[in-house]
Structure 1
């Protein structure tokens, strides 16, 4: 399976598991001298209640009693280390860093894959995601609404909230700025408590 296909499969699986169960959600916003960073994290913790080794399917039961079946692809190392009773934590994280500094160069979108797998012999786990950097033009800004409208490659536009209106000082229509977006899914497994 290609890394991008794997990313989509993991994100979709985690998103459906997170959507159908109780999750812990947190959003943080940090102001920096260059801009702002907003980070959102949704975390699901569940217990393994069944493992079907031939199909590599794991049944997870969350604290609210909902059960979700996940197929663990062959890319995931150490499947044989999983045991009924193990605790699985799935964390989906998104972050947007906006820098309103003038730049140069062509309008562009650059994507970088992020991945880390468990060491051989360890409990399964790891992180997979992507980081997208967008270079775009300012086509409008609204100091009252504290927002800026950007136009990137292929003519796509987006409106971003800036927060502090002073961050728009010196920025005008036609200026080039940069935004960085990351998303990642991290999975960790803790062994069942000894009896």
Structure 2
């Protein structure tokens, strides 16, 4: 399912079928979502001429009949696009997309600079509750 964030940017969200039948949703229906920014676990320099690779793993589970939790772990070789040390944010471009990660510690960003190729390990988590007119979707 693709949603528009408050900023107007689209975001793709994986919805566990046990949460509700999303095929019944229409443009304009109310969808409540809590999205946790991706958390950078590890980062280290990689050869600049290395092959861009990506390993995805994850799970999705219904917490109740009205909500779900999905976690997605990615290990990738990516290029550093931007570093915001004050907010511990790292923007990377990997083989499939550009994303911003929150570093789990300040130390992860200290050895990096824009343009570096890095091997990263990060986790994204999404909790979803879908409703239409404030009623749970079934």
Q: Normalising by structure 2, report the TM-score.
A: 0.48
Q: Greater helix share, 1 or 2?
A: 1
Q: Which has the higher contact order (CA 8 A, sep 6+)?
A: 2
Query: Would you tell me which structure has more strand in proportion to its own residues?
Result: 2
TM-score normalised per structure 1: 0.37
